[in-house]
Structure 1
Amino acid sequence: MIDVAAPPVAPTETPRHRNDRPAGPPPTPEPSPAKATPRDGSRAGRAAKAFLGWAPPALTFAALAGLAWYGHEHDWNLPTVAAAVDAGPEWCEQHGVPEAECVLCTPGLIEDAPDLTFCKVHGVHNCVLDDPTLAEVPGLDDPEVTEADLNRAARALALRPRRENLSQSRLPGTRVQFASVEAAREAGVEVEPVFRRPVMESVAAPAEVRYDATRTAHVSPPADGVVRAVLVKPGEQVAAGQTLAVIDSEKVGRLKAELSSALSAERLARVERDRIAPLVSRDVIAGRRLAEADAALAAAGADVDRAARALGNLGLTVDAKALRTLPADEADAAVRRLGGGSDSVGGADGDNLVAVPAPLAGRIVDLDAVVGEVVGRGTPLMTVSDTSAVWVDLRVPAEEAGFADLGRTVRYRPDGSDEVREGEVVWVSSDVDPTTRTVRVRAELPNPDGALRNESFGTGELILREEPEAIAVPHEALMWDGENTLAFVRDARWFEEGRPKFFVARSVRPGVSADGYTEVIAGLLPGEVVATAGGDVLRAQLLKGNLGAGCTCGH
């Protein structure tokens, strides 16, 4: 046995080889006193670890439950600073003003809002066109509504469907209050007065300029031949009947010769008949000879008429009656001058020459004739057009084509130009383009300076309505709340000291919009003041005040 109190004594061993093993099993080490743990202490540790594991989730759940209870009891509104420190006036949380000054929660502070009505004629609530006393015009208790205002509203509503307001809505007429003028300014609310300005309602469509076909002529030679002279240049202004070109035509020369020959034969037959007639009357010769002479004279006259008609069919004017009265040499000269051909052009025989005249006054817009070219009757030599007036073809959407009445005013602005030309509708197609689903509407426009060029493009407008004294507001003054088009009108006594500061929601009927302004067909009067910036703040407060049970300030 070893004494645990005695000092240790180094054992004496007999050296042995490293591979020698001691006899018997190895000794078992005794347990260390520091590592010994009682059985009861092991249970307490496990309990502590379990508590530390579930305590944080339990505390988090309890906090969330408490927050849910508080939110449910206080409508999910955080307490105000005034409520937290119990200082200052109590505030109406629903309307954002002191409770004592809230016109919506404290009856009798100011005059009651007028009863909400709906005007079926103009489609707005509390219509100021029917009852001007409802308007909020500073300094005027009874603004004037003219007969022109009523007629203007009637025209606009009858022209086309307009966005409608919900007659059952309760939002129009609601007052949106601010604590002070400074509070409205800090909320970003800006205002502008309602005023009059000219407006125009139209249907815009892409348009193309074309020559007026009734004022345009494609010039061609009267007969087959060779171009001997071209007497005009492209773009030149010509008069009706002016010679444009000269054609050398063998056919014309032949027909002229036939006419001259027929005139000579007729003169000879007349002389013969005049010689025989006295002889027959004296019974010198048989009456049969006179009958033969009359027949020959009639046949010669028919030849003259046939040759004259043949030349007339080529466009040459032939007065056969006048030619019969002329002496032979003068008649031949007159026949040679038929058709306006000169005695000699380019070495050609004057009898074969025929002039090509301008069928109307206008401008040479196209020239294809070349001297020496062989041309046939009907070959286009040039085009003459009276460009003092042109056609403008608009491609109007099929659903808007009903506005294209004959005589309706059209305004056209060429691409790349600010100049506007005005004309009127002269034709409306009965077809709808199968590809573009548009209808061609043609207007005639004056073009005295020739600035409108054929096949140029621009924008055309069918003028539906022009109002020189319309009521208008900036675009930003109007907004759609899902039921109505609203404007927020400032109280007419806004700057009166001690009076609550509020705007009134007003339903309106918007008309045409242009240049940053929108026409108000009904719902506002000139002189009223509307919010143009900060409208989202006003609308949010309006919707907030009309959610659920409404005011929650306890009144």
Structure 2
Amino acid sequence: MKRTILIVIALAPLVALGIIGVGLARPSWIPHWAHLGPKHEEGDAHEGHAHGNEASHSSTDAGLYCKEHGVPEKFCTLCHEELIKTLPLCKQHGNIPEEICTKCHPDVEKAYNIEMCPKGHGLPASFCVECGKSATTSAALPDDGWCGLHNKPEALCAECAKNPRKIGPLAAGEIPEPCRQPLPIVKLSTPKLVRQVGIQTALVTEEVHAHRLGANAETAYDANRYAEISPRVVGFLSEIRADLGQSVQRGDVLAVVNSAEVSAAKSQLLSAHSAVRLAQATADRTKSLTQSGAVPARAELEVMTALNQAQASAMDAEQKLRNLGFDNDQLAAIIKNKDTSNLLDVVAPIDGVLVLRHAVKGEAVQATSQLFAVADTSRMWLWIDVYERDIALIAPGQSVSFTISGADPNGQGHAFLGEVTWVGTEVSDKTRTSRIRAELANPNGRLRANQFGEADIQIGSEHKATVVPKAAVQRKDGTDLVFLPLAQPGEYRAQRVVTKPTDRNDVVEVAWGLKPGERVVTKGAFLLKTEIMRGAIGAGCCE
């Protein structure tokens, strides 16, 4: 009995150590699906960065934590490149170890106490493909040739050309500068999901297009073909001869004003001309007497002065009537007929249409009262509000197309054509826009003043352009991108592109990033974008 007790006592510590050993071999915070990874020889521990546990066993032991990269040591492929060959990798998110892919397995963030990307990209900070901090993971994704640091194509990045970045393996402790930043691959897990989402693609084609700039615009009468009509005298309207919408010619009588000023001006003209005739006769008689010696030369000088004064008074009287609208023939008729009536015709100064009428028969009017307005509507002005960033693209002579807002429920309203005639010289401090003036042809009078719409200004000549449907282009972080289907069904890669507007509403030009013949996602592109957005909805792969 004593021997049995002694054996039990001797074995008890061994059993306890075995239990403790199991606990050390697999900590309780490791999920059941996580692999412990390969075993390494003693002394295989890496150097060059700090860890939270200074135990002497293998550096890839599950119990160690890599403080430098914020993940468990056993999954840190940045410190142990040999693990890339043995650990399962997530191809959809940059070939990071599957066990720490927080987009595919959101629960591991808390389970492993993983340090996440501070920019909200949903991946471990040191393995974030979008931030470009992991050369290992970034290199595994298709490089779309985009400079993430300067947000432009790498081939067009002057900053990168001046300061080339190191490409290839990095030395220990060297952090790559975030220039090329490939985007993750998006995967729809099953063909059924692809059908449910309704993914559709379109071919990238080449067509002839012209670059156009769209802007808000408003129509107005051509100020060079518009006239406001006033009576020019104080009086009252005795007759109205024109009405709204009536076509008039220059010189047509629109109304008649009864004014004492007109009678006084005519009387002054008649009196002045009588004085001129009298002064002229006196001057002629004095001249002959002076030549015969009957009167001194001084007398001739006096009568010539009187004649000049009479002529000046006559010219003043004529000018007053000219200011009221009388022409030379009318002035001659007043003198011939000795007309002193107080009636003044209000006439149209230009050809056009009567577009405004305030005149009422019997109304008392002032010299500046606006009675009518006449406009030639065969041409109209268009005021275009262009943002200051686009002003440099505008120049006089460029073609303009204007479509009225709401004129057609289907958005295919009639386009009015014209050209830019003036570029504004100031920018509004409130809207940060400059006013551009264009002239539009309006032969049928369909265009009216003060109509709002969309103006398209052609800012480049026609040329061959690579185009895609507008629905294929998505916007992310100030950059346009499209999605290209990969060889593996249900997998799509993002391609950043540089786009320009065209003369069609349903397509855009791709100036960089695509070639004719490639296919891009149209329907479903927005859903794919949400998978790579900051704070993407759900996991990294659609399930």
Q: For residue 35 of structure 2, what is the aligned residue in structure 1? A: 73
Mapping of residues 359-508 of structure 1, within 5 Å: 359-417=349-407, 418-465=413-460, 469-474=464-469, 485=481, 487-488=483-484, 507-508=495-496
Partners of 2:511 and 2:324 lie apart in 1 by 66
CA gap 1:367/1:478 in 2 versus in 1, 3 angstroms? closer
Alpha carbons 1:210, 1:391 under 8 Å: kept: yes
Q: For residue 180 of structure 2, what is the aligned residue in structure 1? A: 168
Alpha carbons 2:218, 2:384 under 8 Å: kept: yes
Partners of 2:315 and 2:334 lie apart in 1 by 15
Alpha carbons 2:382, 2:438 under 8 Å: kept: yes
Please report how far the alpha carbon of residue 446 of structure 1 lies from its aligned counterpart in structure 2 after TM superposition.
2.2
Mapping of residues 156-555 of structure 1, within 5 Å: 168-169=180-181, 191-197=201-207, 201-283=211-293, 290-291=300-301, 293-318=303-328, 332-333=335-336, 336=339, 351-417=341-407, 418-465=413-460, 469-474=464-469, 485=481, 487-488=483-484, 507-512=495-500, 515=505, 517-530=507-520
Q: For residue 82 of structure 1, what is the aligned residue in structure 2? A: none
Please report how far the alpha carbon of residue 361 of structure 1 lies from its aligned counterpart in structure 2 after TM superposition.
1.9
Alpha carbons 1:259, 1:335 under 8 Å: kept: no
TM-score of the pair, normalised by structure 1: 0.54
How big is each residue's C-alpha offset from its partner over 1:91-116, in whole Å with a ceiling of 9 and x where there is no partner? x99779xxxxxxxxxxxxxxxx9x97
Alpha carbons 2:394, 2:459 under 8 Å: kept: no
Alpha carbons 1:506, 1:523 under 8 Å: kept: no
CA gap 1:67/1:452 in 2 versus in 1, 3 angstroms? same
Moved more, 263-272 or 423-432: 423-432
How big is each residue's C-alpha offset from its partner over 1:289-335, in whole Å with a ceiling of 9 and x where there is no partner? 55554444344333322322333343433589x96xxxxxx773266
CA gap 1:333/1:191 in 2 versus in 1, 3 angstroms? same
Unaligned 5+ runs, structure 1: 1-60, 76-91, 97-112, 128-165, 324-329, 337-349, 492-499, 543-555
Please report how far the alpha carbon of residue 369 of structure 1 lies from its aligned counterpart in structure 2 after TM superposition.
1.6
How big is each residue's C-alpha offset from its partner over 1:236-290, in whole Å with a ceiling of 9 and x where there is no partner? 1222232222222222222222222222233233334434544444445666655
Alpha carbons 1:200, 1:512 under 8 Å: kept: no
What SS is found at the alignment partner of 1:256? helix
CA gap 1:335/1:381 in 2 versus in 1, 3 angstroms? farther
CA gap 1:275/1:444 in 2 versus in 1, 3 angstroms? same
CA gap 1:331/1:317 in 2 versus in 1, 3 angstroms? closer
Partners of 1:301 and 1:539 lie apart in 2 by 88
Please report how far the alpha carbon of residue 219 of structure 1 lies from its aligned counterpart in structure 2 after TM superposition.
0.9
Partners of 2:237 and 2:476 lie apart in 1 by 77
Partners of 2:193 and 2:508 lie apart in 1 by 28
Partners of 1:228 and 1:358 lie apart in 2 by 17
Alpha carbons 1:233, 1:364 under 8 Å: kept: yes
Partners of 1:255 and 1:478 lie apart in 2 by 74
TM-score of the pair, normalised by structure 2: 0.55
How big is each residue's C-alpha offset from its partner over 1:466-495, in whole Å with a ceiling of 9 and x where there is no partner? 65532123456567899994543667xxxx
Mapping of residues 137-156 of structure 1, within 5 Å: none
CA gap 1:210/1:319 in 2 versus in 1, 3 angstroms? same
Please report how far the alpha carbon of residue 411 of structure 1 lies from its aligned counterpart in structure 2 after TM superposition.
2.6
Alpha carbons 1:490, 1:531 under 8 Å: kept: no
Please report how far the alpha carbon of residue 388 of structure 1 lies from its aligned counterpart in structure 2 after TM superposition.
1.9
Please report how far the alpha carbon of residue 366 of structure 1 lies from its aligned counterpart in structure 2 after TM superposition.
0.7
Alpha carbons 1:251, 1:352 under 8 Å: kept: yes
Unaligned 5+ runs, structure 2: 1-22, 38-87, 93-139, 157-177, 408-412, 533-543
Alpha carbons 1:234, 1:367 under 8 Å: kept: yes
Alpha carbons 1:408, 1:463 under 8 Å: kept: yes
Please report how far the alpha carbon of residue 362 of structure 1 lies from its aligned counterpart in structure 2 after TM superposition.
1.9
Partners of 1:281 and 1:187 lie apart in 2 by 116
What SS is found at the alignment partner of 2:516? coil
CA RMSD of superposed structures (Å): 5.1
How big is each residue's C-alpha offset from its partner over 1:392-450, in whole Å with a ceiling of 9 and x where there is no partner? 22334455445444444433211222111233333444555455444433322222222
Please report how far the alpha carbon of residue 196 of structure 1 lies from its aligned counterpart in structure 2 after TM superposition.
2.1
How big is each residue's C-alpha offset from its partner over 1:363-382, in whole Å with a ceiling of 9 and x where there is no partner? 21111122222222122111
How big is each residue's C-alpha offset from its partner over 1:322-355, in whole Å with a ceiling of 9 and x where there is no partner? 96xxxxxx7732663xxxxxxxxxxxxx622222
Give the number of the structure whose alpha-carbon radius of gyration is greater.
Answer: 1
Please report how far the alpha carbon of residue 169 of structure 1 lies from its aligned counterpart in structure 2 after TM superposition.
4.1
Q: Work out the percentage of aligned pairs sharing the same amino acid.
A: 28
